């Protein structure tokens, strides 16, 4: 049994939401160290740059001692080897997440047999939340304050002149 297991929570986090934070808090209670690994998702058009997403995430998790924020490019499977980890954390909000997550988990395991993906369920308050929805609500003038960490809310307003 490896008592120094580092878990990696990868994602594009554009922007980080309270749903992501809920998963991070849960993972940080299970694993001695959690690295939030932020990257580009080439299937998405990001609103925030990689550096902005890293900065927002760092500000949002600064109070959780065993959590670090990093960024990577290329394959997640290669990043895991570089940092000597084999545990991937992903959130499962609803059945609709399952197919995509199942595909990613099995593809990562095909790339490296050691990789295990562990799914955590966020609080039911966040099962309907997504980064796209936050951007849409904000863009249409709705109140999105309750869906994102304070640090994200502030940066979001500045970036979009809200």
Q: Which residues are catalytic?
A: 20, 44, 93, 131
Q: Does 39 bind ligand COA (CB under 6 A)?
A: yes
Output 4 or 18, the one with its CB closest to ligand COA.
18
8 binds ligand COA (CB under 6 A): no
Is residue 49 a contact residue for ligand COA (CB under 6 A)? no
> Per-residue b/e over 9-29, b at no fewer than 16 CB within 10 Å?
bbbbbbbbbbbbbbbbbbbbe
Q: Please state, in angstroms and as integers, the Cα–Cα distance from residue 106 to each residue in 6, 64, 98, 113, following that order.
A: 20, 30, 12, 9
Q: Where are the alpha helices (DSSP H) in the chain?
A: 18-30, 50-60, 76-82, 95-111, 131-139, 150-159
Among 32, 83, 98, 107, binds ligand COA (CB under 6 A): 107
Which residue lies nearer to ligand COA by CB, 4 or 160? 160
Residue 149 in contact with ligand COA, rule: CB under 6 A: no
Q: CA 158 to CA 12: how far, in whole Å?
A: 20
60 binds ligand COA (CB under 6 A): no
Q: What is the CA radius of gyration of the chain?
A: 15
Q: Does 75 help bind ligand COA (rule: CB under 6 A)?
A: yes
Of 14 and 149, CB closest to ligand COA: 14
Q: Which of 6, 12, 60, 85 binds ligand COA (CB under 6 A)?
A: 12
CA distance 71 to 23: 18
Sign of CA dihedral 58, 148, 29, 34: negative
- Interface positions with ligand COA (CB under 6 A): 10-14, 17, 19-20, 23, 39, 41, 75-76, 91, 93, 104, 107-108, 122, 126, 129-132
């Amino acid at each position: 049994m490896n008592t120094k297991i580092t878990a990696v929570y990868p994602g594009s986090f554009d922007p980080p939401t309270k749903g992501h934070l809920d998963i991070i808090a849960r993972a940080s209670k299970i694993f001695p160290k959690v690295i939030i690994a932020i990257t580009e998702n080439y299937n998405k058009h990001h609103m925030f740059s990689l550096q902005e997403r890293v900065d927002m995430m760092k500000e949002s998790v600064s109070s959780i001692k065993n959590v670090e924020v990093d960024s990577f490019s290329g394959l997640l499977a290669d990043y895991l080897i570089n940092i000597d980890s084999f545990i991937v954390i992903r959130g499962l909000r609803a059945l609709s997440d399952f197919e995509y997550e199942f595909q990613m988990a099995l593809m990562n395991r095909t790339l490296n047999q050691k990789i295990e993906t562990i799914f955590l369920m966020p609080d039911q308050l966040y099962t309907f939340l997504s980064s796209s929805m936050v951007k849409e609500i904000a863009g249409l003038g709705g109140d999105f304050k309750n869906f994102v960490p304070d640090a994200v809310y502030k940066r979001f307003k500045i970036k979009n002149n809200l």
